[in-house]
Structure 1
Amino acid sequence: MEVKIGVQHTPREIVLESGQTAEEVESAVSEALSGKVQLLTLVDEHGRKVLVPAERLAYVEIGEPAVRKVGFGPV
């Protein structure tokens, strides 16, 4: 699933492919914005953790699950 994170005072957004479900990502974002945790922590498909301070979150865009395309197509 593709997740885009906007960070305040930063011109670029963070884009990652996560193995987490949309509900897990939404729950992590909700906890960070409510003040329950200080960092938004997400894990990408390669097992790397992405940590963003909760007070710096501008937006989080949760995309559809990535569909793997297999086969031959026009070049």
Structure 2
Amino acid sequence: MEIRIGIINTGRELSFETHTAADEIRGLVTSALEQSTPIVSFTDVKGNSFIVPTANIGYVELGTEESRRIGFVG
């Protein structure tokens, strides 16, 4: 699943693929924002970690969990 996070006052967004379910990501972000947790962290499919300050999150876009199709459509 692809995750895109918009950061306030930054022209680029953070975009990465993860194996974590959309509901789990949604819960993680929602709980961090509700509890005023200073940071939220994510791990991508390659094992890289991303630490994002919750005060700077503009938006979080969760992609679909279906796999990408490869090849030609006939």
Superposition TM-score tier, normalisation by shorter sequence: 0.7 to 0.9
Partners of 1:61 and 1:17 in 2: CA distance: 12
Q: Which letter maps to 2:2? A: E
Structure 1: segments with no counterpart, 5+ residues: none
Q: What are the equivalent positions in structure 2 for 1:14-33 lying under 5 Å apart?
A: 14-33=14-33
Q: Which runs of 4+ in 1 moved over 3 A?
A: none
User: Amino acid of the residue matched to residue 19 of structure 2?
Assistant: G
2:15 is paired with a residue whose SS is: strand
In structure 2, stretches of 5+ residues that fail to align are none
The two structures have a TM-score, normalised by structure 2, of 0.86
In 2, Cα distance between the equivalents of 1:27 and 1:33? Answer: 10
- Residue 53 of structure 1 is matched in structure 2 by 53
Aligned-partner SS, 2:46: coil
- The one-letter amino acid paired with 1:44 is D
**Inter-CA distance 15–66: structure 2 relative to 1 (3 Å threshold):** farther
> Between the two proteins, what is the percent identity of the paired residues?
30
Letter in 1 for 2:72: G
Number of residue pairs matched?
Answer: 73
